[in-house]
Amino acid sequence: MKTYHGSCFCGAVGFEADGDLAEGTMRCNCSFCRKTRYWEMRLPDPGGFRLVRGRDTIAETPRADGADIDMHHWFCVRCGTRLWTEGDIAEMGGRFVQVFVPALDDATEAELIAAPVYWADGAHDNWWNPAPETRHL
């Protein structure tokens, strides 16, 4: 377990996240993840996420599909950098926070290369099972 420090491109938003890239990351085939090239590290404890600056500079991406699901994607309104996702979905184990891996400032190149990636089938609301095809993601 490590405390990672993350930020947006312009530096307006900063956060800390307690996690371990070696425990795995996730990519998904849902429309949001495909369009934003989202790559996340789920934190073992949602309380391990701390926003340290920029609360007034974040916004939530509106849901394009109108689905009533407790999942919220946050980004910096100044530079557009994706930052983290939080929510509460029973099929995903309840309350969660996952951070956008490319926003981690102090993740080493070696950690990023070695980080396992789980490819989830979010396109079919079936996140707990692998995506049938990942080459396009």
Cβ–Cβ under 8 Å, residues 122 and 137: no
Structure tokens at 49: 């996420």
At 19-61, the pLDDT tens digits run 999 999 999 898 888 888 899 999 999 999 999 999 999 999 8
Note the pLDDT of residue 106. Answer: 97
The answer on pLDDT for 137 being more than 80 is no
At 5-22, the pLDDT tens digits run 999 999 999 999 999 999
A 10 A CB-CB count for 136 gives 7
Please give the model's pTM, rounded to 2 decimal places: 0.90
3-state secondary structure of 127: strand
Note the pLDDT of residue 81. Answer: 97
Which domains does the chain show, CATH number per domain?
Answer: 2-126 (2.170.150.70)
At 61-117, the pLDDT tens digits run 887 666 677 889 999 999 999 999 999 988 778 999 999 999 999 999 999 999 999
A 10 A CB-CB count for 31 gives 12
3-state secondary structure of 70: coil
Q: Between β-strands 14-19 and 2-7, what pairing exists: parallel, antiparallel or unpaired?
A: antiparallel
Residues 6+ apart with CB under 8 A from 35: none
Structure tokens at 46: 């949602």
